[in-house]
Structure 1
Amino acid sequence: MSPTLTGRRAAVAALSAALLVPVLAACGGEDKKTDAAASPSAAASASGGAKAANLTVLAASSLTDVFKTAGAAYEKAHPGTKVTFSFAGSQELAAQVKQGAPADALVTADTKTMDGLKTEVNDPTVIAKNRLVIATAKGNPFKVDELKDLADSKIKVVLAAPEVPVGRYSKQILDAQKIEVKPVSQEPNVRAVLSKVELGEADAGLVYKTDSAKSGDKVVTVDIPDAQNAVASYPAATLKQSKNTEAAAAFVAWLSTPEAQKILADAGFQRP
């Protein structure tokens, strides 16, 4: 074989090897690109199908304790998602929404407040119900047994303001029984009413059953018969101004799942 032919074959082999390197590199790059493209899907799958996000949820004061538990459960089931709650009276939350507060979802303690925000929220879903009870000071010194006892001028009664859902429910049941109560104060939310009774600044107050139960032995709970009571409904909705639409919708939908409903039921809320 001639030296010239051998030299040509060596040159061809070297050229082929040089051309093969970029091809292999390109194949390797394609695999990496495919893996990277698959990562978001994997993350979405791990978080229950919704994109991870930092959610802000405006919620009625009476949901303070149960939503802390629910939020922790949701974050555990949806890695990468953080849920931050802002609790206040429903009327205050509504004002925040109308003012454009940066939030993703809203849960109120009545449908009336939610209905007043039709241009700011998407279709709401009732996720729980509640009832009122009488909370009296420790030991129930005035022996309050029923609603009409609250009309006694010797008893310092505290109620929520009528603009607040629990205050509106309180007025509703007292008016229905033709019971006139002159409260020593009208508070901005149910937690404030309960606090007054717990601290001995009031002898009795009308609060939600779930709040009184959470108070333990700090107050005495007096049940109100269903025929004289009011049912509080808790609607939840995403806000149209939310920047995390998909994640917010996933959280609101989760509130109706068996897992969330059990958490609410364990806290004393009734199923919707």
Structure 2
Amino acid sequence: MTLHDPLWLAVLAAAMAVTGLVAGLLAGLFGVGGGIVIVPVLSYVLPPLGIDPAIQQKLAVSTSLATIIPTSIVSARKHHAKGAIDMPLLRGLIPSLFAGTLVGAALIVVLHGEALTLVFAFVALLVAVNLGMTGLDWRLRDRFPDGAARHAIGAAMGAVSAVMGIGGGTVGVPTMSMFGTPIRNAVATAAAFGIVISVPATVIAIAGGWGEPRMPPYSLGYVNLIGFALIASGSILAAPWGAQLAHTLPPLLLKRLFALFLMLTSVRMFWRSLA
């Protein structure tokens, strides 16, 4: 079965559609933009389909970033309607988030696929341990730093999120929680981070992979359009369900569920990279 075989395209489409529904639900629930689901799922979907191993992770990360654009818009609007987004904090972080995103997106182009996988697994593990070991009220300080410290943190969140192919929630939620942001406000604000991160990162991923001959059909640079269309559609459909659920679950349970999900994701990614 080749990359242009109708059966191959049908299997790919089915996998992408299911991925989109799951990612959208978790995007609204956890403010993660879906990338923490999309990237590992694509990392397992692509190898059996004959995608060159050298570009599998680049394709997964880049396609994930593209799908985060519409998903984050839907999720952020839902949270904003509930008044949960910390708008002053968001406005203060946008410049540094954007600058960090440019660095992270450039790394997608220059790093080997195996390095991208290990980065994803390592950061997901750190975040899971942090969320799993700390209580709901644990914090480093009562408010987010100002000045240079705020810009440094914002740039780091943007860079890490872009290179992982995520929307900012995976890093942004625990970071904001450590600095005194209530978990529901952190989740909502992180949903808006996805817009700031995903748009410039996707543009760079498309330009950096332009003309790559090993990409599957219907791709722009490192972004596969079949994956983008079906994952984005499923995510848009399911994201409001997750956002609604996020406002009904107990905050501590929300935090623990997020930690468990990240831990399982990290273990799977490490196993794939090191086995």
TM-score (norm 2): 0.33
Say which structure, 1 or 2, has more relative contact order (CA 8 Å, 6+ apart): 2
Larger radius of gyration: 1
Higher strand share: 1
TM-score (norm 1): 0.33
